[in-house]
Chains A and B, each alone.
Chain A
Amino acid sequence: MHDDEKSVKDSKELTEDRSGVSRRDFLKISTIAAAVPVVAGPKMVMAAGEQVPVHGPGKVPMTFNVNGKSYKATLEPRVTLLDALRDSLDITGAKRVCDKAECGACTVLLDDKAVYACSVLAIEAQGKKITTVEALMEGGKLHPIQQAFVDNDASQCGFCTPGFVVACKAMLDKHPDPTADDLLRELSGNLCRCGTYAGIRGAVAQAARKGA
């Protein structure tokens, strides 16, 4: 798709913006990956005057830190973080809906920043702290944001709910007392079909008051 220089640049900027993984970070991650034993070691190629490892196309071993636990998996480099979580690690709170960064049902935290897990490569997420909706509960007790969702009946079928809960957590961490503009910016990347927005708005207000 991006075969001219400008698009490549744009897509790089998009990557930095969306996932918080810069090209420099990506190289660092790749180097870490290269340091662990691999099935077939990464091929080194010259790119922009630097030696860059190229992984794949076969499966390569990866290590993830999800919800404070370490996981190992052997995956193709093209596997997304969402598919790695759901199909390899059986952590299914993040949902696969649009699979192309349109609906937010797969929202997870990557080093405390909300990202679409469908649009981050698993290999990129190594070395970062990955947090899914499952980790918000502590000692069997719902997180105040989750409790606010329950209290305001902010889920119906519930398929978009985990993504919304995580996006709300990221927003409230950043803006403990969010304005309407904050809501517009931070939650417009999540969609619901049953129509739970009124409940979600109520939940945000409740959680914000409690300083969650």
Chain B
Amino acid sequence: MPDYQWPDAEHRTLIGKRVARVDSPDKVSGQARYTYDIKRPGMLFGKMLRSPYAHCKVTSVDTSAAEKIPGVKAIEVVQKPGSTIHWAGDEVVAVAAVDEATAEDAIRAIVVKYQKLPHLVSDAEPPEGAGESQGPISMDDLGDMLDNQVPENQIISLIKQYGLSFKPTENDLKEAKEEGVPDAILDAARSAEVHPEAAGKQKSNYQKAASQSQGDVDKAFSEAAAVSEGIYGAPVITHCCMESHGSTSEWIDPDHLFVHMSTQGVSGIAGQMAEPLKIPAANIRVHQDHVGGGFGSKFGPDRWGIATAKLSQKAGGKPVRMMLERDVELQVAGARPSAYAKVKVAAKKDGTLVAWQSRSWGTGGPGGGGMPPIPYCFAAPTQRKEHTAIRNNIGPARAWRAPNHPQAAVLTMSALDDLAAKLNMDPYDFFLKNIELTRLPNVYKEEFPIAAELIGWKEQWHPRGQNISGNIARGVGLSLHTWGGRGHSSDCDLSIHPDGSVDIKMGTQDIGTGTRTCIAVVAADALGLQVKDIKLYIGDTQYPPSGGSGGSTTPGGVSSSTRRAVVDARDALFAKVAPALNAQPDDLEARDGSIRVKNDPSHSISWKEACSKIGATPITTHGHNDQVAAKNKPDLTNSGVGGVQMAAVAVDTETGIVKVTKMVAVQDCGLIIDLRMAESSVMGALIMGISYSLFEEKIMDPTTGRMLNADMEFYRLAGLNDIPELKVHMMTGKGYDERGVIGLGEPPAVSPGAAISNAVANALGVRVGILPLTPDKVLAALNQGSSQKAGA
């Protein structure tokens, strides 16, 4: 049985070191090719006509004038008359033409008539008692869920739980199948309980999504020494990937499609395009070298990706490129669900948390969404919570870096920080006092003092509102977080060639997180080579499949499959070389570009010479990581990390402007493959976190139902000068390394909102409960705070 285990610290040559990103030279020199850069011979340009209304029915579509425009090569009606539109900017008709300008002319020439329907784009607190139970699913509900890409297992569980308000006929089901509805959903519909009496009932925008309680909450509140109440929240924000969503599609012949797509999941795209295009997945080749950001928003081909392939088909197979315009990218290509809550928490005099009560709400767009995991990290002994999901027309939600955790952290850590203030406790002591209520107390206990040291907590913390000099108020705040991050399923082929070259083929993708570097480090470390010696082929469905890059699953997945493949290949090479060294294969090691005898390093041959003994055909091995097996028996990859972040802020009490002046992150992620990539990931998360804490919000116009700030001037991202000194400390060594590789993309993006909000509360002495912490909110909170004081 080969020994796949990660080498111990003494035997790692590259793993855990700071290794430079292997594709940096391509990126800094403009050589890296992204989907947006693909230009194929004879390529046409695709554009989409989009609904101007947030909620409407398409009543008629007339494309006749557009068809007559010279240069227009294909038109595809995406949502036919009768379709219901649920957000402004939704796709209606796609066009391909010889250039973008002609495609735009064609869009303007298409006449679509709509029947406007009432819309809701607000996610303000639902009226008392507005939340209705989810009744049986209507045919419209089901159609909407399918259109809105609600995950398959979620649809199935809703059907099973609530039944249907209609009996689907075999003909309905057959039609649905032809439209690409998965069999599992059809089976669920076929066997669902039917409640015809519920048909035709108008559904409320407000849906009771959760109602849970444990323990005697009222008793706990009545006996507590301190009770704190507040309203906290985080609005809908967008992903705003620098490279917008989109693809280029071309039919190589009538049965074979070649797609370049900007995606986080290369291996999964063909399967999602096969049904709607009615060709086998094996006939679809998907390729991507580089992707300009995803953050959770780029897992599917999307309706525009399918439309692009259909336009190409109609245009005789000619390549068609359709990349979303920036305003559209912000309107429709990803929104993080909002979450708000009225929270009441209580503690004993010594700071022991005894009760949590929350009434929360938020929107995930037309699907409503669910309750964030609150109370976050701290399992309060008594709890009562209810959540109302707002189904509205703000646009479809997508996973956003650490789905639901940043919101949960804001709701929880802000409330707990306010409770600490009520108790006149330093939050550092308060959070540690309750640390046994978390799942990773030992990790946090090690991380807290390191973070405190890095930011100077002891010197900087002071009771609230007591560090104001002139009009500048200073404060510090903290938050903590957790995430899973076990490796996904991943396959790869690794070859060692007789000339000494090594290559790896894997259908994964590098979304800027350093996946290429991670694979190369694992392979080179085992073979005693340098990362430059490993030739990587990724980003293509012609290579063995590897999971989508989401949920921090990629490092664990690709490092595990690579490790298995490289150990097998190395052992096969040892077997070929052993006779020449008069040794047994088990006695050999690969180190510093040579194969040598472990106890006698002078007894060695160079890597190149060793490989010359392979023979005519290369050594090729297959590496596989099985997500389910890895869960049952963690070996190379594992799950469950903890991190602590602290922020220092300076707030101008006259202008309301918040500046983050320093931020530190202490993070665990098991065994680190490349320390530099890990640190960069955490730095990036802090920066993204400062951005969403201070600036970002998808602002909707209640009258028109459209997004008001769909550009990069008014949807503001943090710039270079908004970013202060950042310090990142990665936990390594005993207690961490032996757990195996765990992903890192999500966890450090969780805490910034709560840490910065807590720092602002510490500075001002009043809470600005809702992100982003913009000047208007800061000034309003200050005004309210002073009037409360005046009234007290």
Contact = CB atoms under 8 A, between A and B. Distances in A.
A75 to B, nearest CB: 10
Contacts of B680: 153, 156, 196, 199
**Interface secondary structure of A, over-half rule:** loop
B720 A105 contact: no
B242 interface: yes
A78 B720 contact: no
Best-buried of A96, A133, A160 by chain B (most CB within 10 Å) = A96
B253 interface: no
A93 B26 CA distance: 10
B292 interface: yes
B291 interface: yes
Interface in A21-57: none
A193 interface: yes
Contacts of B29: 93, 133-134, 136-137, 142, 146
Contact of A95 (B25, B36, B291, B713): B36
Interface in A124-168: 132-134, 136-137, 142, 146, 149-151, 153-162, 165
A201 B720 contact: yes
Nearest to B714: A102
B325 A158 contact: no
User: In this complex, which of A133, A151, A195, A199 has the most chain B Cβ atoms within 10 angstroms of its Cβ?
Assistant: A195
A69 B432 CA distance: 64
A188 interface: yes
B28 A150 contact: yes
A195 B722 CA distance: 11
A197 interface: yes
Given A78-B101, A99-B326, A197 B723 contact: yes
B717 A134 contact: no
A157 B28 contact: no
Contacts of B684: 156, 194-196
A133 B37 CA distance: 14
Interface residues of A, number: 55
A173 interface: no
Interface string A171-193: 00000000000011001101111
A23 B21 CA distance: 45
A151 B25 CA distance: 10
Q: Give the most central of A103, A105, A183: most B CB within 10 Å.
A: A103
B297 to A, nearest CB: 11
A201 B513 CA distance: 19
B314 interface: no
A187 B101 CA distance: 32
A100 B242 contact: no
Nearest to A189: B719
B24 A157 contact: no
B712 interface: yes
B684 to A, nearest CB: 3
Interface stretch (A1-9, A10-18, A84-92): A84-92
Nearest to A101: B713
Given A97-B326, A102-B713, A157 B723 contact: no
B787 interface: no
A155 B511 CA distance: 11
Please indicate which of the listed interface residues A133, A146, A157, A161 has the most CB atoms of chain B within 10 Å of its own CB.
Answer: A157
16 contacts: A76-B101, A93-B30, A95-B34, A97-B244, A142-B25, A146-B29, A156-B514, A156-B684, A157-B242, A157-B243, A183-B721, A188-B721, A191-B717, A192-B242, A196-B687, A198-B687
Interface of B: 20-21, 23-34, 36-37, 39, 100-101, 240-244, 290-293, 295, 323, 325-326, 511-514, 676-677, 680-681, 683-688, 691, 711-713, 717-721, 723, 726
Instruction: Pick the 7 closest A-B CB pairs, nearest first.
Output: A93-B30, A195-B687, A159-B292, A157-B512, A195-B684, A158-B27, A156-B512
